[in-house]
C-alpha cells in the first residue's frame, strides 16, 4: 500500500512538472506577442499626435510626416517633454536611402533615419520596440518640378523610460 502511494505521488509530480514547463513556454510566447502589440500601439499613438501626423492630405491618415519629425529632431528636449520615452527614432526602409542620420536640413532628402530623442549614455538598443509605419514627405522634384508628397515605408524605434 505504501509503495502504491509513493508511485501515485511521483506520477502526479511528473504531471505537474510537464504542465508547468508547457505553461512557462506559453508565457514566453505571450510576453513576446504583448511586446509586439505594445510597439504597434505606441507607433499608432505617435503617428496620431499632431507633432508627427501627416495632415496635408487625406491620402494617408496614419502616416508620419518625415519633415515634421526632422523639425522635432532639431530640438531633442522638446521630444522628451512630449512623450515619456528614452529613445525615439524613425528609420526609412524603402526606397533604400543612404546610410546616414539626418542632422542638418541639407541631409534631409537622402538620409536613412531621424533621431528625435537620442539614446541615453550607456544604454543599448537591445530593449527597443519597433513597428512599421508609413512615411510622407514633401519632394520638390516630383510633379514636373512643382512638388508633391512622396510616400515611403519605414520603422519607428522606441524605448520606454526606466521606472
Question: Does residue 4 belong to any structural domain of this protein?
Answer: no
- Predicted pLDDT at 135: 92
Domain count, the chain: 1
How does pLDDT run across 86-107, given as a tens digit for each residue? Answer: 888 898 888 777 777 777 777 7
Instruction: For the chain, state the CA radius of gyration.
Output: 24
Rounded to whole angstroms, the Cα distance separating 36 from 39 reads: 5
On whether residue 21 sits in a domain, the answer given is no
Instruction: Tell me whether residue 20 is in a domain.
Output: no
Model confidence at 11: pLDDT above 60: yes
pTM value is 0.71
Structural domain contains residue 122: yes
pLDDT for the residue numbered 95: 79
Expressed as residue numbers, the domain containing 45 is 34-160
**Alpha carbon distance 18, 3 (integer Å):** 23
Asked if residue 146 belongs to a domain, the reply is: yes
Distance CA 158, CA 149 (A): 26
Residue 10 has pLDDT above 90, yes or no: yes
Confidence at 163, pLDDT banded by 50, 70, 90: low
Mean pLDDT, residues 1-11: 91
Distance CA 52, CA 65 (A): 6
pLDDT digits (tens, 9 = 90+) for 31-89: 888 887 887 788 778 878 888 888 877 777 788 888 888 888 888 778 777 888 888 88
| Residue 10 belongs to some domain of the structure | no
Task: Give the model's pLDDT for residue 16.
Answer: 96
Q: pLDDT-derived band of residue 7, with 50, 70 and 90 as boundaries?
A: very high
The Cα-based distances of 101 to 65, 112, 137 in angstroms read 17, 6, 16
Amino acid at each position: 500500500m505504501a509503495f502504491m502511494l509513493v508511485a501515485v505521488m511521483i506520477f502526479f509530480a511528473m504531471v505537474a512538472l510537464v504542465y508547468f514547463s508547457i505553461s512557462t513556454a506559453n508565457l514566453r510566447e505571450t510576453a513576446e506577442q504583448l511586446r509586439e502589440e505594445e510597439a504597434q500601439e505606441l507607433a499608432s499613438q505617435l503617428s496620431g499626435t499632431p507633432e508627427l501626423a501627416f495632415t496635408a492630405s487625406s491620402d494617408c491618415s496614419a502616416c508620419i510626416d518625415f519633415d515634421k519629425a526632422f523639425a522635432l529632431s532639431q530640438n531633442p528636449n522638446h521630444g522628451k517633454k512630449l512623450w515619456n520615452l528614452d529613445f525615439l527614432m524613425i528609420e526609412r526602409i524603402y526606397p533604400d536611402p543612404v546610410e546616414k542620420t539626418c542632422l542638418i536640413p541639407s541631409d534631409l532628402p537622402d538620409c536613412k533615419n531621424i533621431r528625435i530623442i537620442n539614446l541615453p549614455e550607456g544604454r543599448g538598443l537591445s530593449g527597443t520596440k519597433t513597428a512599421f509605419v508609413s512615411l510622407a514627405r514633401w519632394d520638390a522634384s516630383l510633379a514636373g518640378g512643382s512638388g508633391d508628397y512622396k510616400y515611403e515605408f519605414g520603422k519607428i524605434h522606441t524605448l520606454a523610460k526606466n521606472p
